[in-house]
Amino acid sequence: MAEEWVADAPEQISLLSPHIDPYRKLIALQYAGATIASTLELDFVLDTIVRDIVEALGVWACAVFEWRAETKSIVLMAGYSAGGREAGTFPLQVGLLEEIPLFRQVVVEEEARQCLVSCPLPGLLHPFLPDPPTGRERLLVAPMVFQTQVVGLFVIADLRIATPFPLEDVAFIQHLANLLAAAIENARLHRQAQAEIAERREAELKLRRSEARLKALLNAIPDLIFRMRADGTLIDYKASSLDELYLPPERFLGKTIAEVMPPEMASQTASCMARALATRVPQTFEYTLPMPGGVQHYEARLIASGRREVLAIVRNITARVQAEQQLLRNERLAALGRLAAALAHEMNNPLQAIQSHLDLLLDYPLEEAEKAHYLQIIRQELGRLNDITRHVLNFTRPVPASQERVDVMDILDEMLVLVEGRLQQTNVRLTTHFDAPLPVWATPDHLLQVFLNLAINALDVLEKMQDSNRRLDISAYREAERVMVSFTNNGPAIAADDLPHIFEPFFTTKPDGNGLGLWISHNLVEQHGGTLTVENLPYEQGVIFTVQLPAAE
């Protein structure tokens, strides 16, 4: 192919000038400029330019190499020879700069260099050169410089004449190389920009999808959501319907809670907001609002959002409150029914005794001593009826509104004075563990009645033990927002069947008991907002009664 290409004008070869025809230069420059201006697709630009330069300048081959400074290597990007071979037909060739002195010199000095056939040619160029060589090869390597940085090498191989390229041709080739460098960098920037745009579009798409999912989740939540600044200003909201709002948005957005909400609710919100921002712990409270459909009950959960904002999630709990109130009414009615049945049962025995003895007194002739005996029995049974009604009335009487702040330790000390004699009689070893102080809001007499009843019940059980190792432990301590008082004895366990009924009225396991003490104690504790529970200790080690009461702030 090389011989055919040279033989096209054999008689003119010796007359050829080492200069590249200016007309061909102009054509090559026009081709290069038009290609660069037509597209930013780098592979197309390079493949087209190397082909156009070979054809326009009449040289044998043209190649473009990328310079990779980080690995000090050059990589073939595009090439074309007059023999019709393109870079695509060669395997990707990578060469280390240190192995190619000519290329290294061009990169280091940033100046074009050339060599004749007598010079050892880089192996990367062998696919483009004739085989065997014609003996008239000359090679020009120009650095492709963009903004003072070498980005590649532009190589021209010519077979017309074995003389160096003149300076004006070297300058022209250097101009072409720099033009290609700019094209490469522009294409790279375009490709980078396209990649960034694609990434941004993908990120925006993911963000829109995420926003859509979040919006769907928020819309699926039936709760009201409000954003508030630290000063209580309402800045945004989410509601399924405007009917759920206390006020229209235009009347509360941009205003503070204190300006648009009832004073008590606004004050409660402000204090909870301050705690949420200070502690970073969600705060929950309940409140009521007068709405067109009636009073509505709400539960608000305040969550700190950043340092200066609070998110309020508000749930309408009216249905739950109404259900709880209805359940409480049902429980009261059921308790009243159980109480009535128990009262009827307990009162039936003394009433029958009274009836039968009255019949004897009225229908039979009796001596005075017998009459006196029967009247004494009637008096005793009437006393029993009086005791039953008195206990029930004491329980049903509401807790006085004038509860006072008392220390549980003081009431326990008073209770211990009252049972001191009984402790000595029963030979029970008492241990106490009291933490101080333990303030609660209570009616002192009622708490004393509860503690005294629990202590006496424990002593009654321990007194019947054959074992002389009788122990009663009374502990009082604080646990979170509750005050705990426990009575632990090492007596026999309560039967599993009896445990569920232990606080029911008139339920007793004592032969002489009336079954009202624990029932009254249980209800007195509940009236103070607390609980009274009982459980058997593991391995039949005893029984523990525990009173829990709300601690006073």
Identify which of 146, 138, 145, 149 has the alpha carbon closest to the alpha carbon of residue 113.
Answer: 138
Q: Which two tokens stand for residue 499?
A: 């445990």
Q: Which of 283, 298, 316 is the last residue of a domain?
A: 316
Give one DSSP letter per residue of 428-440, joined into a string.
Answer: PEEEEEE-S--EE
Full pLDDT tens readout for the chain, 553 residues: 434 433 343 333 333 455 666 756 666 667 667 666 666 677 787 888 888 878 777 778 888 888 888 888 888 888 888 766 555 544 445 566 666 676 777 777 767 776 665 455 555 566 556 655 565 667 788 888 888 888 888 888 877 666 777 788 788 888 888 888 888 888 788 888 888 999 999 999 898 888 888 777 766 677 889 999 999 999 998 888 888 888 999 999 999 999 999 999 999 999 999 999 999 999 999 999 988 878 899 999 999 988 889 999 999 999 888 888 888 777 766 766 766 766 676 677 678 778 878 888 888 888 888 888 888 888 888 887 887 777 666 655 555 546 889 999 999 998 888 788 788 888 899 999 998 889 999 988 889 889 988 998 899 889 888 777 899 999 999 998 899 999 999 999 988 888 888 888 777 777 666 667 788 888 889 988 999 999 998 877 899 999 999 998 7
Would the pTM count as exceeding 0.85?
no
Together in a domain, 374 and 443: no
Is 311 within a domain?
A: yes
Would you say residue 136 lies in a domain?
A: yes
* 414 and 382 within one domain: no
Tokens read off for 384: 């029993």
Are residues 282 and 389 located together in one domain of the fold?
Answer: no
Q: What is the dihedral of CA 536, 542, 545, 546, to 10 degrees?
A: -80
Which residue's structure tokens are 């058997």?
536
Residues 45, 106: one domain?
Answer: yes
Q: Please report, for the domain that includes residue 369, its CATH number.
A: 1.10.287.130
State whether 494 and 456 are in the same domain: yes
Task: Determine, yes or no, domain membership for 271.
Answer: yes
* CATH code for the domain in which residue 123 is found: 3.30.450.40
Residues 374 and 409 in one domain: no
Same domain for 441 and 337, yes or no, is: no
Q: Phi-psi category of 137—alpha, beta or left, where left has phi over 0 and alpha has psi -120 to 50? A: beta
Whether 472 and 458 have beta carbons less than 8 Å apart is answered as yes
Same domain membership, residue 233 and residue 308: yes
Question: For the packed helices 22-38 and 42-57, what is the interaxial angle rounded to 10 degrees?
Answer: 170
State how far the alpha carbon of 103 is from the alpha carbons of 54, 65, 99, 388, 428, in Å.
21, 10, 9, 116, 106
Where b means 16+ CB within 10 Å and e means fewer, 328-356 reads eeeeeeeeeeebeebeeebeeebeebbee
Can you give the CATH number for the domain in which 246 is found?
Answer: 3.30.450.20
- Regarding whether 16 and 153 lie in a shared domain, the answer is yes
110 and 133 co-located in one domain? yes
434 and 356 in a common domain: no
* In-domain check, residue 275: yes
Of 254, 286, 316, the residue at which a domain comes to its end is 316
Tell me if 217 is assigned to some domain: no
In-domain check, residue 468: yes
Question: 166: domain range?
Answer: 2-192
* Domain termination site, one of 396, 421, 451: 396
Q: Do 153 and 143 touch, CB atoms closer than 8 A? A: yes
Indicate if 17 and 161 belong to the same structural domain.
yes
Q: Distance between CA atoms of 58 and 16, rounded to whole angstroms?
A: 12
Taking each helix axis as running N to C, give the angle between helix 444-463 and helix 517-527, from 0 to 180 degrees, rounded to the nearest 10: 150
The number of domains in the chain is 4
Residue 491: give its domain's CATH number.
Answer: 3.30.565.10
How far lies 396's CA from each of 182, 312, 392, 393, 505, in Å? Answer: 98, 41, 6, 5, 13
